[in-house]
Each structure stands twice: as structure tokens, then as C-alpha cells.
Amino acid sequence: MPRVPSSPVLLAGLLAGAAVAHAARPGQFDAMVPRSLPGGPRRWTYASGVAELALAAGVAHPRTRRAAAMAAAAFFVGVFPANVKMAADARHRSPAVRAAAVARLPLQVPLVLWARSVSRNAAVR
């Protein structure tokens, strides 16, 4: 079976969609911000949304795709502690919420691999 090529357009769309979600529903993201970070959670929510929007723009543009996709991979690794916090906070919630929070943890791996694949397949400029 032939290998399916990675899609930089879909990756850019995912990042842009996440950025919009951070702006449209910041409260749900505020709750994920680890308390150990300095400053208020809303600042981190908006900062990560801005970062996602910048990464989306970089991945979408062929000239910056390679570097932006590697930065996206690093970003996906960097936000993993927020997903761990979300899973830990869900331990006293309904079984469905707990399951969704825990299921989200391993999803970071394919996101990192996808971004790395987009970077590797980008034309060197």
C-alpha cells in the first residue's frame, strides 16, 4: 500500500482552528494551564492561541514550512503538560469526561510525528 503523504494544508488548518478555539472559548483552555506557570491562565491561553496562529501561517507558506512544522512539533510537545493537567483534573468527573481527557494524552504523539513529517517533506529553500 502506498504511503499517504503528509498534508501541510491540513496541519495548518488544525493549528488555525485551535487558535480560533482559544480565542472563542478561552475558559476551557484556562483550566488546562498548569498553576506553576507565572502569570494568569488567560494570558497563557491567548499566547498559545497566537503561537498556533503563527505556526499555522508558517506551515501554510512553502518558504517557512520546514521550520514552522518543526516548531509545531516542539509546540505539541510543549503543551503536553497541559493535557496531563486536564487528565488529572478530570479524575473526579464523569467517566466520559475522564475517558476523553485520558484519550487525549496519546494523541500528542501522532501530532508530533505529523508535524515532523510535514517538515521533512517540505522543499528546502
What is the residue-averaged pLDDT of the chain?
Answer: 91
> What pLDDT, in 10s, does the model give residues 67-121?
999 999 999 999 999 899 989 999 989 999 899 989 989 999 999 999 999 999 9
Q: Give the CA dihedral 49, 30, 24, 9, nearest 10 degrees.
A: 30
